[in-house]
Chain A
Amino acid sequence: MELKTKVTAEEGKQELIVTREFDLPLDLLFRAYTEPELVAEWMGTKVLKLENKKYGSWRFETTDPQGNKHGFSGTIHDFVPNQKIVRTFEMENSGFGVQLEFLEFEQLTDNTSKLRMHIIYKTLEERAQYLQIGMARGMGLAHNRLEKAAFKFLKY
């Protein structure tokens, strides 16, 4: 069976490509990224700010079990409804650098759609660290500072 979510990480490139096909009409998929209440629900985060427009910005916040708050934020560089969002993403005070994200939304049929996330990191090492978060999370462990910071965001 074909995997619904695919991740491509070419060796020697500081980028990742994540694609996913959804059993959702295109406009609903896009809405999941633009309506604050919906973003909050599927991302498991508080949406403090979400300006869906060119030159807009966004900021989310999660609270860990100890009650510490963690912010995530960025700016929106391009916004075309049902087509694309270009934005930056940064985990505040985590030691992780900012990353650039190209989100492309595509209609497949009336009831299915596709998202392609093209993420660009500053360096190959940062990309490796992000991949490592997935591994650490998968094994239920976090052993360095960066992973611990990232964990708080990825806890759900």
Chain B
Amino acid sequence: MNLRRDVFQAIADPTRRAILVLVATNAMTAGAIAANFDTARPTVSKHLQILTECELLRQEQNGREVIYHLNPHKMKEIADFIEPFRKMWDDRFNKLESVMKKYQTKK
């Protein structure tokens, strides 16, 4: 039975979100994706299946290999994946700015 998967259910899982981040910046084979996780390979395959079923990922046959791409129609652009990274730097630079302002007035 092939249940129609819900997108929100799919992205509720941290490993699946991490897979989306990996694939967002670079299309990859299942093996290359699995190499990034401590999780067993069949578990990663299951996650890929779920992500493909709800059309977050798109499969492309390349010889004997299957390459996974992010489905641009389902996911918003790559910027969404960069946002947490950007926020991390933004916080750090805000700290720099406040440290230096304090330093400036002390002088």
Contact = CB atoms under 8 A, between A and B. Distances in A.
Partners in one complex: yes
Interface string B65-107: 0000000000000100111111111101101110111011000
Nearest to B80: A135
Given A124-B25, A128-B25, A5 B89 contact: yes
B103 to A, nearest CB: 7
B97 A137 contact: no
A20 B25 CA distance: 22
A91 B15 CA distance: 23
B88 A154 contact: yes
Question: Interface size for chain B: under 10, 10 to 19, 20 to 34, or 35 or more residues?
Answer: 35 or more
Q: Which of A43, A127, A135, A143 has the most CB of B within 10 A?
A: A135
Interface string B34-50: 00111100000000000
B10 interface: no
Contacts of A143: 14-15, 18, 37
Interface of B: 14-15, 17-18, 21-22, 24-26, 28, 32, 36-39, 78, 81-90, 92-93, 95-97, 99-101, 103-104
B86 A38 contact: no
Contact of A7 (B38, B82, B104): B82
Interface of A: 3-7, 9, 11-12, 18, 20, 22-24, 28-29, 31-32, 38, 41-44, 115, 124-125, 127-139, 141, 143-146, 154, 156
Nearest to B15: A143
Contacts of B21: 128, 131-132, 135
A11 B17 CA distance: 19
A129 B36 contact: yes
B100 A29 contact: yes
B18 A132 contact: yes
B103 A9 contact: no
Q: Lowest 10 A-B CB distances belong to which pairs?
A: A134-B85, A138-B84, A5-B90, A134-B84, A7-B86, A42-B96, A42-B99, A124-B26, A128-B25, A135-B84
B85 A144 contact: no
Given A129-B36, A145-B38, A32 B25 contact: no
